[in-house]
Amino acid sequence: MARISTDPDAGGHFGRFGGKYVPEALMHALDELEQAFTDARTDDEFNAELDTLRREYAGRPTPLWRARRLTETCGGARIYLKREDLAHTGAHKINNVLGQCLLARRMGKKRIIAETGAGQHGVATATAAALFGQECIVYMGEEDTHRQALNVFRMELLGATVVPVTAGSRTLKDAINEALRDWVTNVETTHYVIGSVVGPHPFPLLVREFQKVIGEETRAQILEAEGRLPDVVTACVGGGSNAMGIFHAFVGEPGVRLVGVEAAGRGIASGLHSATLGAGEPGVLHGALSMLIQDPDGQVRPTHSISAGLDYPGVGPEHAYLREQGLADYETATDDEALDAFSLLARTEGILPALESSHAIAWIAREARALGTDAVAIVNLSGRGDKDVETVRSIMKARDGAH
Amino acid sequence: MDGPVIQEATNAVLAKGQRTAGAIELIARAAEATGRPLVAMTYYNLIFRYGLDAFAHALADAGATGAIVPDLSVEDSGPWRDACGRAGIAPVFIAAQTSPPERLRAIAAAARGFVYAASLLGVTGVRESMDDRARALVASIREETDLPVAVGIGVSTAEHARAVASYADGVIVGSAVVKRISGSSSPARDVGAFVSDLVTAVLST
């Protein structure tokens, strides 16, 4: 395998990105976490337990579905869907939380905190915490608690406490701030289950390692189905964990193009978007140097996306590195394109995708013809869209009313 | 890592249009008016965007003598320390109660000016009582360096300040001052009176 090693250096740097930009109060906890993870990674017992949980609890491996009607409709590349929406709790987020909650148990930390945007990571964390008998507190922007009211109730049913965050824009960025505050205060008893490949080292590495199972399965499945590697692997990018998860097994593979799709919201030119790699500048947020949507003074700018899970001004440092090295491309899809893709997948394949994943569907729908009928493309269908039905209904209603 | 008091204050001044350049100008005015050594405190991204050397030199030109950057770990601070060295600014580092001896050693080696001992685990803010562990932390830092040690995070009353001054070289009060500014019709007078009380308490030890 002609694979390129993309492990960070000892300080957690992917090239110039990454690192540990956190208050001193957290440094020891990060060191402890790194040590625990390094030990766990090579511990057969830990890996065997995680493997059992993945298979018997989370429903892995998830299928790779050949989307024939979508392929026909788009008129180009043969499109396959990696069905992370079929994993327990309805998204790829479960892969990460099972690993991290198992790690927390190993470290003797009984209190789990998490941030959530769309609510998928919060639900996944509440699920794993219930399974392991851990106390769970989830921070969620107040705006997002309205956008995703059903997920709030879901987390409460699972025994978690949901804390609405009223600071700033009341979205994912503010929820992470509040979770970091809690962690600084309660670090001795608490593990912070970060939901994406963001934050200070070792989180971007650790989350990628727990998510890379997506790409490893995909690689074996596409070889089985097509007898060769794909031409394109695409996934939506907010913080970027589902994309890192499916990309990792293909990074540096000649002939395999990796495409991350960011949220262009109402268009890049409108300023109302979340396209961090496409329109951001290098900067430090939430513990890492990465790309950031900010003003010339370094103040974080408000972002927008129809999908709460992509509505974030930062992005994982490894994505910033892959982009800079030319190892992955980053494109965008607008709110409207994502909505169209949501309907497209529902009608051609009988699958309601999460609005986040709809961005990746939108990109392949746009590009399939240009790729040609000989091309093989895989889309990471990172989550199911049931949580978004209400949002989509109200937008479609408003749209119809405007006509 | 700031608590709600300073975050609200930050949002309020940002909404009024304050930016990095304006803050540096304010430092220059304060230095001229008071003639005291001034230490700036800000987050790393603002420095990073301004340019490390440009920012360190701007601070020095404004009359500041040091800078505290709470989200910059010793590990990632190399370029900033170099810039501070070139501009004659003291990079101050924070030591926490969770810092093991080897980290205290690295912090003491990197710091100039003084070491900031974070008395409580947690974010900045007003606390009801001081943690006894602060005293032990100061003692541990003194084993690693001859630099002065100042204690902050959670100091909100003259009694706190007096207690801290009995074992530390300096007392850092942030949120309690900011709170008096935001809730006051005459902030200069109220802050002046509060700081006078703190100074009296500290000098009485």
Q: What does the pLDDT read at residue A401?
A: 76
The tokens for B2 are: 């700031």
> Rounded to the nearest 5 degrees, what angle is found at the Cα of A370, between the Cα atoms of A69 and A364?
50
* DSSP state string for B4-28: HHHHHHHHHHHHTT--HHHHHHHHH
- Residue-range domain boundaries for chain B: 4-203
Q: Where are the beta strands (DSSP E) in A142-294?
A: 161-165, 190-192, 232-236, 257-265, 281-285, 288-292
Pairing of strands A13-14, B149-152: unpaired
The pLDDT of B20-43, averaged and rounded, is 96
- Write out residues 136-155 of B within 8 Å (CB-CB) of A: none
**Alpha carbon A29 to chain centroid distance?**
24
Q: What is the pLDDT of residues A250-294, one digit of tens each?
A: 999 999 999 999 999 999 999 999 999 999 999 999 999 999 999
Q: Is the pLDDT of residue A172 over 60?
A: yes
Q: Is the pLDDT of residue A91 over 90?
A: yes
Contact residues, chain A, for B123 at CB < 8 Å: 181, 184-185
Strand B149-152 and strand B170-171: the pairing is parallel
Q: Which of A28, A282, A283 sits opposite B100 (nearest CB)?
A: A28
| pLDDT band for position B127 (cuts 50, 70, 90) | low
Q: pLDDT tens, B35-79?
A: 999 999 999 999 999 999 999 999 999 999 999 999 999 999 999
Which candidate from A24, A187, A282 shows the least CB-CB separation from B95?
A: A24
Cβ A294–B95 below 8 Å, yes or no?
A: no
Higher-confidence position of A390 and A316: A316
In this model, does residue A221 exceed pLDDT 60?
yes
Residue A188: the pLDDT is 84
pLDDT score for B126: 55
d(CA A5, CA A64): 26
- Strand, coil or helix: what is A204? helix
Whole-number pLDDT of residue A212: 98
Q: Which residues of A1-18 are buried (b: 16+ CB within 10 A; e: fewer)?
A: eeeeebebeeebbbbebb
pLDDT above 80: residue B124: no
Share of chain B above pLDDT 90, in %: 76
At A110 the three-state DSSP class reads coil
pTM reported for the whole predicted model:
0.94
Q: What is the pLDDT of residue A1?
A: 43
Can you give the pLDDT at residue A3? 53
Distances from the Cα of B33 to the Cα of A61, A98, B37, B55, B171, angstroms: 68, 58, 11, 22, 22
Lowest average pLDDT, out of A123-127, B22-26, B48-52, B128-132, goes to: B128-132
pLDDT for the residue numbered A367: 98
User: How far is A223 from chain B, CA to nearest CA, in Å?
Assistant: 42
Q: Do A28 and B99 touch (CB under 8 A)?
A: yes
| Average confidence (pLDDT) over A157-166 | 96
Instruction: Please pick, among A93, A109, A173, A387, the residue that the annotation labels catalytic.
Output: A93
Rounded to whole angstroms, the Cα distance separating A171 from A116 reads: 9
Who among A24, A283, A299 is closest to B94 (CB)? A24
Least confident range of A298-307, B7-16, B189-198: B7-16
The Cα–Cα gap between A136 and A161 comes to: 6
Catalytic annotation present for A115: yes
* Contact: A25, B50; criterion CB under 8 Å: no
pLDDT bin (cut points 50, 70, 90) of residue A2 is very low
**pLDDT score at A187:** 85
Residue A79 has pLDDT above 60, yes or no: yes
d(CA A362, CA A333): 6
Q: B72-112 pLDDT, tens per residue?
A: 999 999 999 999 999 999 999 999 988 999 999 999 999 99
A329/A335 Cα distance (integer angstroms): 20
CATH architecture of B4-203: Alpha-Beta Barrel (3.20)
In chain B, residues with a C-beta closer than 8 Å to the C-beta of A292 are 45
| pLDDT reading at A61 higher than 80 | yes
Element spanning B39, H or E: strand B38-41
pLDDT for A400 equals 80
Q: Does A385 score more than 70 pLDDT? A: yes
Q: Which of A306-310, B40-44, B124-128 has the lowest mean pLDDT?
A: B124-128
Q: How much is the pLDDT for A308?
A: 86
Q: Is the pLDDT of residue A197 over 80?
A: yes
Nearest CA in chain B to A169: B11
Mean pLDDT over A232-260 rounds to: 98
